[in-house]
């Protein structure tokens, strides 16, 4: 069935280190994956996306990796900063609107 799941509900990272947030999905029909960041008291904000015909996409300090063989998606944040503290959601889109995972809370330790 359609589902998007997360490996870890919380992640604590030292400031300056790299963060890796993982996500698994079960529906192979997904053609588009998106990462959102949600800060406390705010709505989810788009970070980066990747199409299913890609393996990797880079943005500013963020990289998304897609492994279709094992149906796994990851978000890598380089040189994590206090402002990166938030809940991160992976989402997939196919023929239906976005389906969101439960989210991973990233805490940055100064």
Partner 1 sequence: DAGVIQSPRHEVTEMGQEVTLRCKPISGHNSLFWYRQTMMRGLELLIYFNNNVPIDDSGMPEDRFSAKMPNASFSTLKIQPSEPRDSAVYFCASSLVGRGPSGNTIYFGEGSWLTVV
- Interacting residues toward partner 1 by CB under 8 A: 31-32, 34, 36, 41-46, 49, 51, 89, 93-103
Six-digit token string for 104: 């991973």
CA distances from 3 to 13, 27, 34 (A): 27, 7, 14
Smallest separation (angstroms) from partner 1 to the CB of 42: 6
80 vs 87, which CB is nearer to partner 1? 87
Smallest separation (angstroms) from partner 1 to the CB of 56: 19
9 vs 16, which CB is nearer to partner 1? 9
- Separation between Cα atoms, residue 56 and residue 45, nearest integer Å: 20
């Amino acid at each position: 069935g359609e589902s998007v799941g997360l490996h870890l509900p919380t992640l604590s990272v030292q400031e300056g280190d790299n963060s890796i947030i993982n996500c698994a999905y079960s529906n192979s029909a997904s053609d588009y994956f998106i990462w959102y960041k949600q800060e406390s008291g705010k709505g989810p904000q788009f970070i980066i996306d990747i199409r299913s015909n890609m393996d990797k996409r880079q943005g500013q300090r963020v990289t998304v990796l897609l492994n279709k063989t094992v149906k796994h998606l990851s978000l890598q944040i380089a040189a994590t900063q206090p402002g990166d503290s938030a809940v991160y959601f992976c989402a997939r889109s196919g023929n239906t609107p976005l389906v969101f995972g439960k989210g991973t809370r990233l805490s940055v330790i100064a």
